């Protein structure tokens, strides 16, 4: 149940540039959390070793 509530309040911003993501991709950060990354920040996310979902 907690996971369902958590999904409702997922931040709708890019984890790197903090702007509204255009064509967002889901990545897993170092804390094992799912984050959204916009298209222009994908290369930076992959350099920081974020795993793609």
Rg (CA), the chain: 11
| pLDDT at residue 9 in the model | 73
Q: Which residue carries 């979902």 as its tokens?
A: 53
Summarize pLDDT for 26-48 with one digit per residue, the tens. 999 989 989 999 999 999 998 98
Alpha-carbon dihedral of residues 40, 44, 49, 53, nearest 10 degrees? 0
- State the chain's mean pLDDT as an integer: 86
Q: Range of 46's domain?
A: 2-52
Q: What is the 3-state secondary structure (H, E, C) of the chain?
A: CHHHHHHHCCCCCCCCCCCCCCCCEEEECCCCCEEEECHHHHHHHHHCCCEEC
Question: What is the count of structural domains for the chain?
Answer: 1
Q: State yes or no: pLDDT of 1 exceeds 70.
A: no
């Amino acid at each position: 149940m907690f996971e369902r509530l958590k999904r409702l309040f997922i931040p709708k911003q890019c984890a790197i540039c903090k702007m509204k993501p255009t064509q967002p991709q889901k990545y897993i950060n170092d804390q094992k959390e799912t984050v959204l990354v916009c298209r222009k920040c994908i290369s930076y996310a992959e350099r920081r070793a974020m795993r793609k979902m």
